[in-house]
Structures are given as C-alpha cells and as structure tokens.
Amino acid sequence: MAKSILRFLGKDEEELIHEESLRCLEEIGVMVHSEAVLRMLKGAGANIDPKKMVAKLPRDLVMGSVKKAPKEFVLCSREPKNDVVLPAENYPHICTNGLSVYMTDLETGKKRPTTRRDLAMFAKLADSLDAISYFWPAVTAGDVPEASHNVHELWVSLQAGTKHVQGDSTTEEDALTQIKIASVVAGGEKELRKRPIFSCTCCPVAPLSFEKGSVEAQVAFARAGVPISSMSMSMSGMSSPITLAGTIMNANAENLASITITQTASPGAPHVYASESTPIDMNTGGINYVASESPLISAGCGQMAQRYRLPSMVGQWGVDGMTPGMNRSFNELATVALSMLSGTDCCSGMGGLDSALGASLEQMVIDAYLWEGFRPVLRSFTINRETVAMDVVKAVGQGGTFLTQPHTAKYFRKELYFPDKSKLAWESTLSTKMAAEAKRVVKKSLKEHVVPQIDKGVVRQADAIVKQYEKSLSG
C-alpha cells in the first residue's frame, strides 16, 4: 500500500538515535521518584542508586521490554462501533485537546474557568463529530476538589459520550479509583481488561525523570490492562538539547524507559509511544507547536516508533489560536499539518486554544471540519498492475480519452477526494467568519445528538466510588 509519510532520519541516523538512546539509559539512567518502582526495576535487572533515585537500565532489559509490548491493540469504547484499532490502517485517529483550564463561553465569547458541566458539553459534542475518534477530557473540572479532578473527568466523560476516553492521573490512589469506576461501567475488572474503555497519559518529566504519583499510577494501570501513553514533552533548548537530534534522542529514551516500566509491571500491557516534543519558544519560554522544526521532530519520533513496531501518538492537530477561528498564518498551519505525515497512529489537539491552556466548543467543530478535508491526503492507495492500468492505456492509445473508460468509473471515487465546498470557506486564514456558523453547529449537536445512557444502577455505584474517594482525600 502506498501512503504519504514524512521521513526525516536516514537509516544511519535512525540507528544512531537508537544506539545513543540505549547508551543514555544504560550510562545516565532515569530518575524515578518512587521507591516501589525502583525496587520493581531492580528486581528486573536495573542498576539502582537509591540515594539519587536513579535507575540505569541495561540494553537487554529495555529491548526485552520493547519485544513484550503488544504491536497492535484496541482502544475500546462504551459503544463498540467507536473502537479505535491501533495501529491506524489509513489516516491517524484524532482526539480532543486535553485538560485546558479555561474556555470561551458559547454565548458571550468571554474566557472563563471550566466545570464538570462544561466538560460534559465537550464530551457530547465530540461524540457527535465523526472526525473525532476518541476523547481526551478537553477541559478541567474546576468545580471539584483539586485532588479528585482526574477521577471526575473520567466519570463525566464516560457518561456524556460513548467514545474511548484518554484520561490522566497523578497518584496511585487516583488511578485505582479510575479503574474501579471503569470496571463498574465495563461490567467488571476482567471485562475492563478485555475491553479497556479508557487509557491514561503518563508523562515522563523531561529530561529523563518520572514523578512519584504519575509513575505509580502507570504501574497500577499497566497491571489492570489499561493502555498507557508515555507522552514525552521534550522542549529543545530547555528540557532537551537545542538540536533536533538531541530532542529526538531524549524523547526516544524517555519512551523506552516508560515502556520498560510498563512491561516490567505487567508483561504484554498495551503501551503507546508518544511525544508532543517541540522547540522552546525563545520569546515566551513555552512549548511551540507551530515551530517549523516541530513536524521534523514528530517525523523523527514516528520513525523510531515504527522501528520498534509500536503504536504511536506523535502528531498534533488543531489551529490552536487565541480565539475561535482560523487566526494562524499559512506557514503555522502548514507545520501542524505536516506533523500528521509523521506516520503517527494517533494525535490530539482538536478544540484547543492558547497552546492548550484554553478550549472552545466552536474551535472543536472548526478543527474537525479541517481534519475532514485534510485526512484524505493520508489515505492508503493500492499500487498494482490493475491500478497502474497498462491495459487501459493500451485500449485508449495515443491522443484518446480515459473519461469514458470503465476503469475510470470503477476507481474515480476511490482515488479522488471530493471536498464539501460549503466547508472550504471556513479555511480562510486570519479569519473568524466561520466562528458564528460553528456556534450554530455546536448548539444543534448539543440539542439533537443522543448519547446512550449508562444504566442507573451503574451510575449509582460509580457515584458512590467518587464520593468515597473524595471522603478519603479529606480524611
């Protein structure tokens, strides 16, 4: 099958990244702020410095872990029709932006903090949009106790939509509570293991370190069969070397270390190689999704994931402006689009604003419509004797036309993409004209889209789990 993929590393360069990543983990190691996880790694053969809390990971341990990691699996959904099969067969699966702390109000357009009710609206809208494959809780539930917000976000997302949920967790207790809730919805712990209806992003902290709560949560999820996404957020010049080669190596080393933790905890546990690594914005000190170098870092990480035959999440999608609309330049939007040619299986970003700090329901619709128009570029095409069509060329001969050929009638709808012309007008850059129409789409979807409800008995059980967890935090 022919498929458009951006290649950045030559074979020798890819080999160098691989070898230097292994050398980094073996000679420098990773800092793991958890005595329990350090003991686990020591038992698997890692060299541990308990005072510095550093684990040096031998090559054989790392590559053995890569071999144990499944090369394909399913991010299951409450409704099986929405299951996400990895690796992606054609174009990548895209989810929403994750955990923004503010949104633009649908009625007033003003920025405001977000609540559980807002999250439910984002989940329902995402459920109604075909372009969105799964749901990362788009906004933070700011109206609940801070320590419990991840639990609330998973539970709200599962109720308000039917697609797979990609959650977050900061402690082992938090993770175990999420597993309990999902198990109740799935029909039990065994059923959740068979059909994991949620996954979790467990980010290493660049460079080369793992926080106590997050890494202990990762171990708990792995043992429950909940897929892990080890999203490295290496920033060139701040948390990784300024060079693209150094950033790709750092992101690759962090992913390999994370995979080693997952597979040591539970051999065969599903794991996604993930990166949202970009250069630092030298003006602000923040992450720079629209830097010209960002898609090249994505392409390099995508090649490394393919080398290890691991499902990946290394692309980014979405306009990500300051207000709803298309308020980015052509070059900035092109760099984001190019990241989708990295060979990634998944990516995030729909509906995000302000480098993921904010979110917008209207922007989610705009980003979804843009994706509908772009994803045909990433289709797979069959290249064989029939599609090369030498017999048809012979039949038409010199100076003839192929328009009336049966071969043309057979293939034109498969080979050519016919865009929705009404949506093309939305793609005018430096414009907010489409925002008003997007708002109408949002309101219509929230009013008319029907989400199958979870059984009332299950709701009561899950509500009780959430309340008990909040009680334990306050006690």
Provide the CATH number for the domain around residue 357.
3.20.20.480
Of 46, 64, 82, the residue that ends a domain is: 64
Residue 445 inside a domain? The answer is: no
Does 90 lie in the same domain as 53?
no
Does 325 lie in the same domain as 210?
yes
Tens-digit pLDDT profile for the chain (475 aa)?
788 899 999 999 999 999 999 999 999 999 999 999 999 999 999 999 999 999 999 999 999 999 999 999 999 999 999 999 999 998 999 999 999 999 999 999 999 999 999 999 999 999 999 999 999 999 999 999 999 999 999 999 999 999 999 999 999 999 999 999 999 999 999 999 999 999 999 999 999 999 999 999 999 999 999 999 999 999 999 999 999 999 999 999 999 999 999 999 999 999 999 999 999 888 888 888 999 999 999 999 999 999 999 999 999 999 999 999 999 999 899 999 999 999 999 999 999 999 899 999 999 999 999 999 999 999 889 999 999 999 999 999 999 988 899 998 898 888 778 888 888 888 888 899 999 999 999 999 999 999 999 999 999 999 999 999 999 998 7
The pTM (predicted TM-score) of the whole model is: 0.94
Does 77 lie in the same domain as 58?
no
Asked whether the beta carbons of 57 and 30 are under 8 A apart, the reply is yes
Residue 468 inside a domain? The answer is: no
Residue 426 inside a domain? The answer is: no
Of 395, 415, 435, the residue that ends a domain is: 415
Residue 450 inside a domain? The answer is: no
Number of domains in the chain: 3
Residue the block writes with tokens 């899950």: 462
Residue 108 inside a domain? The answer is: yes
Residue 441 inside a domain? The answer is: no
Does 246 lie in the same domain as 229?
yes
Does 196 lie in the same domain as 96?
yes
Asked whether the beta carbons of 321 and 429 are under 8 A apart, the reply is no
Please give the residue range of the domain that contains residue 176: 67-378
Does 205 lie in the same domain as 310?
yes
Does 233 lie in the same domain as 138?
yes
Does 160 lie in the same domain as 146?
yes
Does 389 lie in the same domain as 245?
no
Residue 6 inside a domain? The answer is: no
Pairing status of strand 84-86 against strand 93-96: unpaired
Does 111 lie in the same domain as 244?
yes
Residue 456 inside a domain? The answer is: no
Does 130 lie in the same domain as 246?
yes
Of 37, 64, 91, the residue that ends a domain is: 64
Does 315 lie in the same domain as 405?
no
